[in-house]
């Protein structure tokens, strides 16, 4: 059975973690994705927060595999900003490698403490973890 975005949205944080830990790294993606926040950690009003992020702020990411770069798609106006380096590296959530989205050298200074990591859980569907200063703050999905 192939996992879908809808399946991910119905999973608990524990189920998402288990899926992530047991998924292959996959290929570094290329092109535009649609993003969805799945779970926000350590925020009591996570449903409201993730709804705001989904509706108004974050729409997904655009990857350039050849350059090892990405841009985030922000706002309903389709802005492309907040750059990151993309490479394979050690996962902070589980053993082994993940695809790392490294914002430490981002031109957007507020993003420089952010680090994401993703793994491919189904063809063209990636599950990700977002960190702020090594603290995991949310899980997200990218559909290509």
Low-confidence winner among 74-78, 95-99, 134-138 (lowest mean pLDDT): 74-78
pLDDT band with cut points at 50, 70 and 90 for residue 48:
very low
**pLDDT value, residue 66:** 97
Instruction: Return the CATH number at 98.
Output: 2.40.160
- Structure-token pair, residue 114: 């952010």
**pLDDT value, residue 3:** 97
Residue 81, domain extent: 5-143
- Structure-token pair, residue 91: 């996962």
Q: What percent of the chain has pLDDT over 90?
A: 65
Which residue bears the tokens 């998924």? 23
- Strand, helix or coil for residue 51: helix
Q: Say what the pTM is.
A: 0.86
- Strand, helix or coil for residue 119: strand
Closest by Cα among 22, 21, 59, 19 to 37: 59
- Strand, helix or coil for residue 69: strand
**pLDDT value, residue 68:** 97
Q: How many domains would you assign to the chain?
A: 1
């Amino acid at each position: 059975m192939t996992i879908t975005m809808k399946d991910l949205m119905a999973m608990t944080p524990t189920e998402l973690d288990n899926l992530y830990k047991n998924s292959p790294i996959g290929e570094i993606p290329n092109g535009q994705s649609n993003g969805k926040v799945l779970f926000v950690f350590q925020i009591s009003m996570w449903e409201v927060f993730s709804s705001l992020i989904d509706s108004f702020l974050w729409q997904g990411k655009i990857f350039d595999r050849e350059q090892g770069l990405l841009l985030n798609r922000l706002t309903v106006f389709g802005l492309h900003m907040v750059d990151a380096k993309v490479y394979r590296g050690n996962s902070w959530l589980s053993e082994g490698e993940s695809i790392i989205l490294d914002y430490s050298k981002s031109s957007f200074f507020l993003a420089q403490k952010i680090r994401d990591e993703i793994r491919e859980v189904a063809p063209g569907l990636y599950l990700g973890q977002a960190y702020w200063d090594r603290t995991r703050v949310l899980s997200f999905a990218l559909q290509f």
